[in-house]
Amino acid sequence: MNSTQPVPDLQHRTVLLDEAVDALDLAGARASGTYIDGTFGRGGHSRLILSKLAPQGRLIAFDKDPQAIATAERIDDPRFSIVHDSFATMRQALAVRGVQRVDGILLDLGISSPQVDDAARGFSFRNDGPLDMRMDTTRGISAAEWLAEAPERQLEKVIRDYGEERFAFQIAKAIVARRAVEPISSTRQLAAIVANAVKTREKGKDPATRTFQAVRIFINQELEDLEAGLSAAFGLLAPAARLSIISFHSLEDRMVKQFLASKAKVEQPDRRLPIRAADLPQPLMKLLGKAKPSEGEVGANPRARSAVLRVAERLEAGSGAPA
């Protein structure tokens, strides 16, 4: 086993690395369990998990990005396997592998620094490149293809709902006007269209930030994957298993927070009813808190500033309950 120790990645700084992995509680007998890294990225979390696993332990990772898959395939460790697909498919993928329950799941949502920094991927407006934005470049339509055909109302809805952009109407109208003149095929073109349509913006934030986020989320079906992934994760967690999730924007974090809260609370019956304490409904999960990056981490990696880690544990009462 020659690639199990956590090593520095010159391209990607894993946010909340220790906190997210420590939350899985890989001590004692738990080190021999089966774990999921739903977002391999460049392997920071996976390598740290492997460094803590016992020889009998197992780690199954997922990622949609072919470049991430290529990195994962360089890990020479019999305890590790990689699945080229979204974590939303984890339940089906594990069933094929004969796994019904796992001892912990880690999700690091959003995009990785290598994806942002590679202009050819089209995720960032800071360097000009083709408007692709697909996490999985082997399937689906690119951002440029969608922008060329999407109705104005759909453009407005996506930019407003996924980007929380108050100038969504103006931006959608500007996109439709420009594409009638020439194809919108580069990140610089889209950024310029947005800048001309947005008259005011928060200090220190590029006018295109929210629109690029919205298009990326839509193209990759990120919120749909998150909804399906949360449900799948809950169904796979064994009693006492942990779910550790890092989110980077308010839409993701809101979904995670609401999902975990829904599993941690129960509807209280009418106190006037003669119900024994043992028969009262029990919560399915216990919330273990949240964490944010330290000032030092944000100083070293400004992209970490919006990260939020939330952790919950599956309770005995939820064992065998349908997801």
Annotated binding site for S-adenosyl-L-methionine: 43-45, 63, 87, 108, 115
Binding-site residue positions: 43-45, 63, 87, 108, 115
User: Hey, is 200 helix, strand or coil?
Assistant: coil
| 3-class secondary structure, 255 | helix
Give the SS3 label for residue 136.
coil
Burial-class residue 289 by CB neighbours within 10 Å (0-12, 13-18, 19+): exposed
- The tokens of 90 are what? 């984890």
Burial (Cβ within 10 Å: 0-12, 13-18, ≥19) of residue 244: buried
Tokens of 176: 């439709």
The 3-state DSSP class for residue 131 equals coil
Task: Name the residue among 226, 195, 199 with its Cα closest to residue 107.
Answer: 226
- CA angle 90-19-209, nearest 5°? 75
Say whether 289 sits in a helix, a strand or coil: strand
Helix (H, G, I), strand (E, B) or coil at 108: strand
Cα separation, 12 vs 115, whole angstroms? 9
Q: Is 274 exposed, middle or buried (0-12, 13-18, 19+ CB in 10 A)?
A: exposed
Q: What is the gyration radius of the CA atoms in the chain, in angstroms?
A: 21
- Burial degree of 194 (CB within 10 A; 0-12, 13-18, 19+): buried
3-class state of residue 310 by DSSP? strand
Q: How many CA atoms lie within 13 A of 300 on its CB side?
A: 9
